[in-house]
Amino acid sequence: MRYPRLRIYRSVFRSDLFAPSCLPRNPPQFRCQFARYSHDSSPYADPVPSPDDSIFVAMSGGVDSSFVAHLLASKYTNVTGVYMANWTQQRTPRHEIKRPISHRMSKNPEQLRQYREKEEQRNKDAMEIGVSCTETEWNDVCGVCQDLKIPAIRVNLEKEYWTDVFQPMIDRYSIGRTPNPDVDCNRYIKFGKLYDIIENTANQHGASKWWLATGHYARAAIHKETGRTHLLKPKDQIKDQTFYLATVLRSRLDNVLFPMHQYTKKEVRELAIKMKIRTAYKPDSQGLCFVQPTVSAKAAKQAFREGRKISSSTSGYRHFRDFLSEYIPEKEGHIVTYKGVVVGKHPGLWSATIGQRNGITPGKIKGHEEDGPWYVIEKRQETNEIVIAPGRNNRWLSSSAMTCAEWSWLVDDEKISEVYELAKHGQLTVRCRPLQNPMITIKQIEDLGNGNIRLEFIGSAHGIAQDQYGVLYYRDIVLGGGRTESIELAYRENLQPAETEQEPHSGVA
């Protein structure tokens, strides 16, 4: 069978999306100077605070935010470190998390002995911390601020985090969806409640201008012609975090600094070591404050010097699935193939993700000619079933369009019609999950009203799950984002079987 050759057409459409509007050049509300970025031809410039501006650095106790604090404290006098206490639960000791030992390892005495020795050492490293995640981070923030001789402020936002981020996440997981709490945390907590607190604090102290700086790998830059602030991709495309910032209110970008946009993660780590920042060897966080590493600073430093990566298997991260099981009641159901053959059981719809390899034996299953491995293609809330199909790129994981709810634009209202035109000419792309590469080209955008939009793809997208986010880009510019409400399969055959057949084969998701 011959397939048509892919032809690439270069559109002659020219958009004035970022051309001067009614705003004057360099409007007075931008009191900062312009900093050049990489070369003179760039249409963007980074905001540079004035010497008397107040700068608040959101610090998590990690190397990135500590590095930002060092950069700004070396240039400005009115710098303050701010720590958000969002989660104060104690860590679960690693030995209390019952992780299964593989059958192969259990039959090998030497491998089993080595495994138990490593587990014992990990437990000792975890006990060196001995306090909650929040207290550990707060101590690191205080230490860094003390080194820099700048004040440190602790803000308790645990109630707001629980109400606006954590409880909605649990509710959505419990019905089989796949939420992204990092996106919600940025919108409602860091650039929501914390932003409001900093603004009130700055106003009470009579600050003429104030800034909120974070360690995100993203860029908030001012368009030289329009004076508008846009969210752009950073230098380090591997660490690009614009996906998590796409739903932040666009008016708040005017007071935000993202100094990390001009560095790669490797450069930051090396510079932090040279600058002798006390958190230089600290392992990267998972983004979720309740799923953090329990590795000690000593162990992290040793691993870095030996060139070893500190991952979830070596640092004592809590298994996210183990964590969810503490908050979501178990609701056992069947794992079925796309033909309706029951092959195993699952503890709840939350235990699997669309596109995830299921863990079922990769051999043949009765009633199916295909071999495995098998992947999750659907989660049925009505029957509490997880549906699987063979092959990672099977047809049931391909989508031709998606509908996003609670859409948030980062462009001016009068420019949205031009965004729609860019889509018709194939100049926009969308990410359906963080760091998705390549991104999906958009064919058409349809406004469904009430903050809902439909994105139709050129070609198809793989493995989109409900309650993930769709983020729209024009080249390096972030245009907006919204929560995935529904998808349209490229393959439209009904998956629901006429009757269910039992298969004597066991397995779990």
Nearest to 119 by CA among 133, 131, 107, 105: 105
Residue 165: HSE in the Cβ half-sphere, 13 Å Cα cutoff: 25
Active-site choice (145, 185, 404, 432): 185
What φ, ψ does residue 226 adopt, rounded to 5°?
-100, -20
Confidence of residue 401 (pLDDT cuts 50, 70, 90): very high
If one compares 316 and 209, the residue with the highest pLDDT of the two is 209
Cβ atoms of residues 298 and 95 within 8 Å? no
In the residue annotation, 185 being an active-site residue is answered as yes
Q: Give 227-262 pLDDT, tens digit per residue.
A: 999 999 999 999 999 999 999 999 999 999 999 999
State how far the Cα of 488 lies from the Cα of 118, in Å rounded to an integer. Answer: 47
Q: Which of 323-327, 413-417, 465-469 has the lowest mean pLDDT?
A: 323-327
pLDDT at 298: 57
State how far the Cα of 61 lies from the Cα of 337, in Å rounded to an integer. Answer: 45
In the residue annotation, 133 being an active-site residue is answered as no
Q: Give 23-32 pLDDT, tens digit per residue.
A: 333 333 333 3
Cβ atoms of residues 49 and 447 within 8 Å? no
The mean per-residue pLDDT over the stretch 406-434 comes to 95
State how far the Cα of 425 lies from the Cα of 447, in Å rounded to an integer. Answer: 17
pLDDT at 29: 36
- Percentage of the residues of the chain whose pLDDT score is greater than 90: 60
Q: Give 128-139 pLDDT, tens digit per residue.
A: 443 467 888 899
The mean per-residue pLDDT over the stretch 207-224 comes to 96
Residue 373: asked if its preceding bond is cis (omega within 30°), the reply is yes
Active-site choice (133, 289, 404, 432): 289
Q: Give 138-177 pLDDT, tens digit per residue.
A: 999 999 999 999 999 999 999 999 999 999 999 999 999 9
pLDDT at 350: 92
Extended beta strands in 115-271, E state: 152-156, 210-213, 219-223, 229-232, 256-257
Class of residue 490 by CB neighbours under 10 A (exposed 0-12, middle 13-18, buried 19+)? middle
Beta bridge partners of 474: 477
Residue 80 three-state SS: strand
Chain position carrying tokens 């299964």:
100
Fill in the amino acid letter for 261.
H
Helix (H) or strand (E) holding 401: strand 398-409
If one compares 20 and 364, the residue with the highest pLDDT of the two is 364
Residue 390: asked if its preceding bond is cis (omega within 30°), the reply is no
Answer whether residue 486 shows pLDDT above 90: yes
What φ, ψ does residue 440 adopt, rounded to 5°?
-95, 130
Q: Give 337-361 pLDDT, tens digit per residue.
A: 999 999 989 999 999 999 988 776 5
Beta bridge partners of 480: 409, 472
**How many other C-beta atoms can be found within 10 angstroms of the C-beta atom of residue 189?**
19
* 2: region left, alpha or beta (phi > 0 left; psi from -120 to 50 alpha): beta
pLDDT at 497: 43
Answer whether residue 94 shows pLDDT above 60: no
Q: Give 285-318 pLDDT, tens digit per residue.
A: 666 656 655 455 555 566 666 655 554 444 444 5
Of the chain, the end-to-end C-alpha distance in Å amounts to 36
